[in-house]
């Protein structure tokens, strides 16, 4: 009996481990908005076009198949660096000493001098713009002590993000038979990195210098993502290339309220990967629109009465944004239906939930958003009560 119980417990823990931490809910375009078969000019191992705001897959091929992704791996190194900065474990202005190991990396590099100090932000700049292998390893060592320990953090974070078809072996994406990811996981990862404003300071830079503190020599950095210069609205992305991976690219562009993420893995040439991403983005922007129905934090017309408060009514807002993606030919509008109590009791704190808003299209509920208090509503005191009594009876001072 005990043995049976132990087996069941292990199975339960395995299930929890496998399905915990999945934060990105990906959906595939429904039949009513799915495009006819997309014709692309070149072949690749995998591709994906994702709507950023709704996590809707608009077109795809082999998007969950495992492939080497080369330097796209560096997006996880970048993400962990920004999270370490956010947590106070690292600082953009911090100087860190380059090890012999980090300075020995080949391929794309900032040409770090071993035993010399470099600023964290400068290292991130060289990774984001020019895909520097040496800077990636140095960042890994600064966060975890050594690259092997950092790789454990990379894989842990991947699982937390729901990147269950990804395995990391190093911090920079240099070839290893055991290292792989997918087009879908690459899109999820770029979206997470894009939460950090400092990332865009560098991802939108076309060309700059990396100045070495020791002797003032400069390494010229040119953005490996050519679309940052040649595709309007493209402000994020990461390239990758090895013989094993082929030519890879994940990129994001924004036009009006719509942002798209496109991924190509295993293109045959560098020119083809950019052309494929260019076409995927064009297809998305030409055929779809993304409407911002509920705006998080914006005051809405609906109000609610508050019993026992200094103010008789509370202003309201939406707890989250709500976007709806549809074909550009879709002219049907939306209706908001609110489900709110007649009144609530004071005090009411900002962002306290008071009800819901349902988004209705063609008579069907297509989404819902919590309605919350726009601001604090304080409970009335004795002076407030007396003032109201005097006001009600017309008594003036």
Catalytic residue among 45, 74, 125, 191: 74
* Choice among 44, 71, 102, 186 that is catalytic: 71
Task: Please report, in tens digits, the pLDDT of each residue of the chain (397 residues total).
Answer: 433 333 333 333 333 333 334 466 899 999 889 887 788 989 999 999 999 999 999 999 999 999 999 999 999 999 999 999 999 999 999 999 999 999 999 999 999 999 999 999 999 999 999 999 999 999 999 999 999 999 999 999 999 999 999 999 999 999 999 999 999 999 999 999 999 999 999 999 999 999 999 889 999 999 999 999 999 999 999 999 999 999 999 999 999 989 999 999 999 999 999 999 999 999 999 999 999 999 999 999 999 999 988 888 999 999 999 999 999 999 889 999 999 999 999 999 999 999 999 999 999 999 999 999 999 999 876 665 656 555 555 544 4
Helix H or strand E segment including 248: strand 246-255
Q: What is the pTM of this model?
A: 0.88
Of the listed 44, 99, 126, 131, which one is catalytic? 131
Tokens of 284: 């998305």
Tokens of 282: 């064009």
Annotation says 30 is catalytic = no
How many CA atoms, within 13 angstroms, populate the side-chain half-sphere of residue 121? Answer: 10
Q: Are strands 207-211 and 95-97 parallel, antiparallel or unpaired?
A: unpaired
Tell me the residue length of the chain: 397
Domains and CATH numbers, the chain: 27-289 (3.40.710.10), 295-383 (2.60.410.10)
Contact 154, 171 (CB under 8 A): yes
Closest CA to 170 of 183, 161, 179: 179
71 is catalytic: yes
Distance CA 3, CA 92 (A): 53
User: How distant, in Å, are the alpha carbons of 251, 305, 343 from that of 311?
Assistant: 49, 9, 12
131 catalytic residue (yes or no): yes
């Amino acid at each position: 009996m005990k043995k049976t119980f132990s087996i069941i417990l292990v199975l339960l823990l395995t299930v929890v481990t496998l399905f915990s931490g999945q934060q990105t809910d990906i959906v595939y375009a429904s039949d009513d908005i799915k495009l006819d078969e997309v014709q692309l000019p070149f072949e690749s191992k995998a591709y994906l076009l994702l709507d950023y705001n709704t996590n809707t897959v608009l077109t795809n091929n082999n998007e969950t198949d495992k492939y080497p992704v080369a330097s796209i791996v560096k997006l996880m190194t970048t993400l962990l660096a920004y999270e370490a900065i956010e947590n106070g474990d690292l600082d953009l202005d911090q100087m860190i000493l380059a090890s012999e190991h980090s300075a020995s990396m080949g391929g794309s590099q900032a040409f770090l001098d071993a035993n010399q100090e470099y600023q964290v932000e400068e290292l991130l700049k060289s990774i984001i713009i020019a895909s520097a292998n040496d800077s990636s390893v140095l960042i890994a060592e600064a966060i975890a002590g050594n690259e092997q320990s950092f790789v454990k953090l990379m894989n842990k974070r991947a699982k937390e993000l729901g990147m269950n078809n990804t395995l990391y072996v190093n911090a920079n994406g240099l070839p290893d038979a055991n290292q792989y990811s997918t087009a879908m996981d690459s899109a999820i990862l770029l979206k997470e990195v894009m939460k950090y404003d400092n990332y865009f300071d560098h991802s939108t830079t076309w060309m700059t210098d990396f100045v070495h503190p020791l002797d003032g020599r400069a390494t010229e950095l040119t953005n490996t993502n050519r679309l940052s210069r040649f595709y309007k609205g493209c402000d994020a992305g990461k390239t990758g290339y090895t013989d094993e991976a082929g030519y890879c690219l994940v990129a994001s562009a924004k036009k009006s309220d719509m942002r798209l993420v496109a991924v190509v893995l295993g293109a045959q040439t560098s020119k083809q990967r950019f052309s494929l991403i260019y076409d995927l983005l064009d297809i998305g922007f030409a055929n779809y629109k993304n409407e911002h129905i509920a705006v998080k934090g914006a005051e809405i017309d609906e109000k609610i009465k508050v019993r026992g408060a200094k103010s008789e009514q509370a202003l309201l807002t939406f707890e989250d944004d709500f976007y709806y993606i549809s074909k550009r030919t879709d002219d049907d509008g939306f209706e908001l239906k609110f489900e709110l109590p007649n009144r609530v009791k004071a005090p009411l704190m900002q962002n306290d939930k008071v009800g819901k808003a349902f988004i209705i299209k063609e008579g069907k509920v297509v989404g819902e958003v919590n309605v919350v208090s726009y601001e604090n509503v304080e409970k009335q005191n004795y002076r407030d009560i007396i003032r109201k009594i005097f006001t009600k009876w017309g008594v003036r001072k």
